[in-house]
Amino acid sequence: MSENVESKKELELLKSKIRELEALVNILEQSQKESELLDFPWIGNLGRWNWLIQSNEVHFNPAKATNLGYSLDELPEKVGFEFFTQKLHPDDYDDVMQNMRNHLEGRSNAYEVEYRIKRKDGSYAWYYDRGKVSKYTDKNTPLIISGIVFDVSKNKELELELKIANEKLKQIAFLDELTHLANRRLLLEKLESEYNRANRYSETFSIVMVDIDHFKRINDTYGHNTGDLVLQNLANILSSRARDTDVVSRWGGEEFIILLPHTNIRDAKTVAESIRQAVSHASLGINERVTISLGVSEYRKSISPNKLIEEADCLLYEAKCNGRNCTCCSK
């Protein structure tokens, strides 16, 4: 009796295998008629693939494997779905598997995904993969998925180069080349945004304008290269004492502006004095003491961003007239 049961199971498996193969033959014949799919002109085309779901066999163009650095002799006799999924980049694995499940369960019209897959030499290639259920069983469950795959590594390299180029353009547009602080353009943009926020929520903020005392004499005595070093060292001190929400910028020449959101005049003066004292005790790259003068202005509803900067500039001039190395604040 048990032999008959085993024989029936084997017979059913054989019939299932035959049905899969017959369906695959029909799909391949159809593909031959659709030459535009087989001879797709896109760069990186690795050809068609078919996954026989019940027997877990993948039939594919050899280019899909040789592109990964494997010879045909190195492939197992039966290539299953896991032959490729085991080589997926860890960060892409869940996305690929979920994408496939969504399609098999009818939640998406196609399986379509980009992923990184490990080559034999350990490097990763970028693939674009798109497939669709091409055959169902009599019970309307997926039997075969057919698709086409491309190596898009070059495209990804170009995307990365473009991203790097855009970052460089952003630095040119918004960062000071010498100090790597925000430049005047970015400071004005942030100041306008903070002005609108403070107006909307009836809050306040302050700005601190900083200027190096006797900077012309430093340049004349030590040269412009040393002067640049002094500016860079000062920029580092300003940045080290800033909060994540603050904007430290080079306004021009030896002048800097710090935007302090959510900061009233009293607290802004404390920040300014802390910076002044730090600079007066620091070595900025020359064998003499370097000091700074500061002007601090607080936002009020009656003052525009430009007027706020003008006010801080006037207060800075007042600090210079008071003997330098000091801080003057708005009342």
Active site residues: 254
Asked if residues 240 and 225 have their Cβ atoms less than 8 Å apart, the reply is no
Q: Which residue is it, tokens 């620091």?
A: 282
Written as six digits, the tokens of 237 are 């001190």
> What is the Cα–Cα distance from 64 to 148, expressed in whole angstroms?
10
> What is the Cα–Cα distance from 156 to 50, expressed in whole angstroms?
26
> What is the Cα–Cα distance from 318 to 329, expressed in whole angstroms?
9
Q: Which residue is it, tokens 């980049």?
A: 89
Element holding 50 (H helix, E strand): strand 45-52
> What is the Cα–Cα distance from 219 to 110, expressed in whole angstroms?
67
3-state DSSP assignment of residue 214: coil
> What is the Cα–Cα distance from 43 to 37, expressed in whole angstroms?
13
- Selection from 186, 169, 199 nearest residue 258 by Cα: 186
Burial class (CB in 10 A: 0-12, 13-18, 19+), 5: exposed
> What is the Cα–Cα distance from 194 to 247, expressed in whole angstroms?
11
Which residues, in sequence order, are CB contacts of 44 under 8 Å at separation 6+? 128, 150, 151, 152, 153, 154, 155
- Selection from 20, 52, 48, 53 nearest residue 34 by Cα: 48
Asked if residues 260 and 208 have their Cβ atoms less than 8 Å apart, the reply is yes
